[in-house]
Amino acid sequence: MTGHPPPSSAMIAYVPGEVILGTDYVVTRRLGSGGQGEVYAVRNKVLKARFVIKLLNPELVGHDAERMFQKEAQLMTQLRHRNMSA
């Protein structure tokens, strides 16, 4: 998922068990954070499947970082490895 979090001057910190606003994704744990945003392990309530979601820092929306974030998401869909889920 590459949707944008609600506009804000700071990232929203999700906790395990919390539903990401406007989605069917339940946070299972926070994996990390960096200059672009926060990364979470999540479970989709409808599909009953696990995913990793990276949420872009709202301060970067509309900047070159947003375009880089989208490119990264596109590249990640092409990765294949036995230790990665499809």
C-alpha 40/C-alpha 15 separation (Å) is 9
- pLDDT attached to residue 50: 93
What's the pLDDT tens digit per position in 3-12? 544 444 466 7
What's the pLDDT tens digit per position in 13-37? 899 999 998 999 999 999 999 878 8
Of 18, 15, 16, 6, nearest to 56 (Cα)? Answer: 6
- pLDDT attached to residue 8: 47
Q: Per-domain residue ranges for the chain? A: 25-76
What's the pLDDT tens digit per position in 40-57? 999 999 999 999 888 888
Of 50, 59, 40, nearest to 84 (Cα)? Answer: 50
Percent helix, percent strand, percent coil in the chain, to nearest 5: 20, 30, 50
